[in-house]
Amino acid sequence: MTAPQALKLDHLVVAAQTLEAGEAHVIEQLGLTEVVPQRGGKHARMGTHNSLLGLWGGAYLEIIAIDPEAPPPDRPRWFGLDDEAVQARLERGPYLAHWVARVERPRSLPRWQAQYPQRLAPVMAMQRGALSWRIGVPDDGSLPAWQGAGQGLLPTLIQWDSAQHPSDALPSADCAVTALRGFHPQAAAIQAQLQWLGADALVNVEATLVEPSLTAEIETPDGPRTLR
């Protein structure tokens, strides 16, 4: 059974060792001058914190890093931040690690996950200030995968319970995502899961023999840029 309704891009995830490094990476790659990422807050349950940048179309960009002031969480952090391979990749600098797709109501993300527990990650309820949401996070904190393939190209699923969305309160950088492109040795398996999710129109995945990667083509006030 495939998803009866397409998903929407909710946000991009740039992973970094520190928020300062991640912010500098985004500013440089997008050529930002007037509007820059602003600190979002802390995720006490995950031991992380973030910085946010508003994008067109009700989406945003999140820079995420392990919060050095937070105690270690009682579970693996999300977005694979505790994974040795991710930590090794971060030694080379911040990068576009992942993307998150929004499940719109009236569909219920928890109900959908309960129907297909082998295909969708367990759903956690999260809250920060006035924002509340439900998000799929594998128990081991890894990025979503299907048939052993993933590496950030399959989206994390999110559903917002609060009336407010983070993009509502963020200054716009007048930047819009025009295309997401992924590269992976198992492109066919990833594409099949994307189609099942109803997300295949949001990202184009191509086969590669080198390291899996994700890029975002972004239209900025100064022309097109590529975020890596």
Q: Please, which residues bridge with residue 123 across strands?
A: 136
What are 26-70's pLDDT values in tens digits?
999 999 999 999 999 999 999 999 999 999 999 999 999 999 999
Note the pTM of the prediction, 2 decimals. Answer: 0.95
Three-state DSSP class for residue 166: helix
Q: What is the mean pLDDT of residues 85-93?
A: 96
Task: Give the DSSP H/E element, type plus range, for residue 192.
Answer: helix 187-197
Distance of CA 49 to the CA centre of its chain: 14
Q: Is the pLDDT of residue 3 over 60?
A: no
Q: What is the DSSP string of 45-92?
A: TTTEEEEEEEEGGGEEEEEEEE-TTSPPPSSPPGGGTT-HHHHHHHTT
Q: Domains for the chain: give ranges and CATH numbers.
A: 8-227 (3.10.180.10)
Task: Tell me how crowded residue 217 is: count the other CB atoms within 10 A of its CB.
Answer: 14
Cβ–Cβ < 8 Å for 184, 149: yes
pLDDT for 1 equals 45
